[in-house]
Amino acid sequence: MTEWTILGAGALGCVIAGQLHQKGERVGFMLSERHRGHFHPNLDLITLSGRHQLIQSQPRFPEHARKVECLMVFTKAYHVLGALKELQHLPKSTPIILFNNGMGLTEQVKELMPDNPLLVGVCSHGAMKEQDWLVRHTGKGETWLGALNEAGKEWTHLLKPLAASLGHCEWSDDIALHQRHKLAVNAVINPLTAYNNISNGQLVEPRFHDVLEQLTDEVYQVIARLNGSDAESKDAFRRRLQQVIEETAINYSSMQQDLANGRKTEIDYITGFILKHADGIPVPVSQQLYDEIKRREA
């Protein structure tokens, strides 16, 4: 394979593109129509050490889909299906890796792209978009890949170049477990920071102690039941949540940024997933946050 194609030039997509490029991998960005005719600048990546590195990438548009060798999808969850539908000429042999936030899309993607090798990626690298084509890598993390269909299982060889570029990449036969682990953290941090218009680090302030505790308990109960015997302890989840809050203290969550800038959020795929699977577990804080964020969106 000679080029990775990134669909979704947000913070994480740009950081992953930068990491791949730094290891000599070629990267292209699949761009939307609003970018057509615009000057496509180099990506300016601020590394963990604070250095600026210019990352060269190739602009791609839907008519170039027939040349895509591996598609990595980082776009907003609610844009995934529409964006994939535009790639009418994508070869059926091209693997598609879904890195989007939240859960609830996989069955629809399998129905839309039944012949393509389909995979899910779960990545915990910290990333922050400071402006268009300027992103900051704010923290190292783990990356996990897993197959969504039988064809996806044939692409485990992608692990080697991804691990070399990202520092860690492993295969999971239960990728949904890793998705739920990530979603649990997002279902606490994202709606709380969006509702209160604060950075992640501000969640440790005393004024948020009670609501943080209650929301953490709600989310944990729902995810633990879904994970069954693989569920982590509540203390382990609290420690993991606290670690993410500390490591991303200066970051503003994607949901906070979307709401603050008048954009649609991914609340349906994060908190909405918790509400859908609560099934009798009381989740009043999650419900209140969901209702208020949906109201503000409207």
- Residues annotated as catalytic are 182
Q: Under 8 Å CB-to-CB from 157, ≥6 apart: which residues?
A: none
What's the DSSP call for residue 36? Answer: T
Residue pair 194/264 in contact (Cβ under 8 Å)? The answer is: no
Q: How far is CA 259 from the centre of its chain?
A: 17
Instruction: Write the burial class of residue 152 (CB in 10 Å: 0-12 exposed, 13-18 middle, 19+ buried).
Output: buried
Which H or E run contains 287?
helix 284-297
Q: Quick count: other Cβ atoms within 10 Å of Cβ 69?
A: 15
Q: Report the distance separating Cα 176 and Cα 148, nearest Å.
A: 9
The residue whose two tokens read 């044939």 is: 154
The residue whose two tokens read 């060889």 is: 157
Angle at 230 between CA 226 and CA 235, to 5 degrees: 90
Q: Report the distance separating Cα 290 and Cα 298, nearest Å.
A: 12
